[in-house]
């Protein structure tokens, strides 16, 4: 039995050598395959890491510029980076805090402003894209100490709770009534569908808009 095993060993040995004389074994093969797998797994991670580093370095070198923003009829020079949103420029640079940054994803409508007469989410609009265009925020609705009829209606109908969503609702309501001074309740709901009130005071908001529309038609 032992002799047969001894006879098999030289044969196994001969199969484990290549023609060049390099020894090839199962253990060596498995080690090599394992090393290759590790390299394949690590390489993408290294590339991702390098890409992240490059992105960070690029972000550090973001260019800035001084732009002119026309807000509520007044011109303001403000220095912003290319990535600065209009909401951040208004709030942090110009201290115009009416537009609220709540979701920062263009979903809640609290940051709504008018840009050349059209509603935009200022958290999703770059400040540089607003240069040379007319910006109106909730601060521009009142005429001095006299509230806009929509603002008065919001107070009368108790349409403001915590207040975070109110500026956006006011801007959307103004845009709606500027285009349609006699909306139906369904049109009011549709016109304000881009604004969210987490306090749930929608009925009061809709009632306020209908009341303001009637008052504005009468010249109030």
Interacting residues of 29 by C-beta distance below 8 A, sequence separation 6+: none
- Does residue 219 carry a pLDDT above 60? yes
Regarding whether 77 and 134 lie in a shared domain, the answer is yes
Residue 60 dihedral angles phi and psi, to the nearest 5°: -65, -25
Regarding whether 160 and 102 lie in a shared domain, the answer is no
| In-domain check, residue 24 | no
Domain count of the fold of the chain = 2
Find the domain containing 97 and state its range. Answer: 64-139
CA–CA gap between residue 192 and residue 156 (Å, rounded): 19
Question: Among 54-58, 159-163, 184-188, 192-196, which is the least confidently predicted range?
Answer: 54-58
Q: Specify the pLDDT at position 16.
A: 46
Whether 144 and 135 have beta carbons less than 8 Å apart is answered as: no
* Higher pLDDT pick, 55 / 68: 68
Task: Single out the residue of 162, 155, 149 nearest to residue 204, CA to CA.
Answer: 155
Interacting residues of 81 by C-beta distance below 8 A, sequence separation 6+: 62, 63, 64
pLDDT band for position 27 (50/70/90)?
low
Q: Specify the pLDDT at position 42.
A: 44
| Domain C-terminal end among 115, 139, 163 | 139
pTM metric for this prediction: 0.72
| Domain C-terminal end among 109, 139, 169 | 139
Regarding whether 153 and 127 lie in a shared domain, the answer is no
Mean pLDDT of the chain: 84
* 144 conformational bin, left if phi > 0, alpha if psi -120 to 50, beta if neither: left
pLDDT tens digit string along 96-144? 999 999 999 999 999 999 999 999 999 999 999 999 999 999 999 999 9
| In-domain check, residue 45 | no
């Amino acid at each position: 039995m032992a002799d047969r095993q001894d006879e098999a060993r030289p044969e196994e040995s001969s199969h484990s050598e290549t023609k060049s004389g390099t020894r090839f074994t199962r253990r060596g093969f498995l080690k090599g395959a394992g090393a290759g797998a590790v390299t394949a797994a690590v390489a993408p991670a290294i590339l991702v890491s390098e890409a992240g580093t490059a992105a960070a370095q690029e972000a550090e070198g973001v260019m800035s510029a001084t732009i002119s923003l026309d807000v509520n009829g007044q011109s303001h020079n403000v220095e912003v980076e290319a990535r600065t949103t209009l909401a951040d420029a208004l709030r942090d640079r110009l201290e115009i805090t009416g537009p609220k940054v709540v979701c920062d994803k263009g979903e809640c409508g609290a940051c709504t402003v008018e840009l050349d007469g059209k509603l935009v989410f200022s958290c999703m609009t770059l400040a540089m894209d607003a240069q040379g265009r007319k910006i109106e925020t909730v601060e521009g609705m009142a005429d001095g100490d006299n509230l806009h009829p929509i603002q008065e209606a919001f107070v009368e109908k108790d349409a403001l709770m915590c207040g975070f969503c109110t500026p956006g609702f006011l801007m959307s309501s103004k845009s709606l009534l500027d285009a349609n001074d006699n909306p139906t309740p369904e049109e009011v709901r549709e016109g304000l569908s881009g604004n969210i009130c987490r306090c749930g005071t929608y009925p009061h908001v809709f009632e306020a808009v209908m009341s303001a529309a009637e008052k504005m038609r009468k010249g109030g």
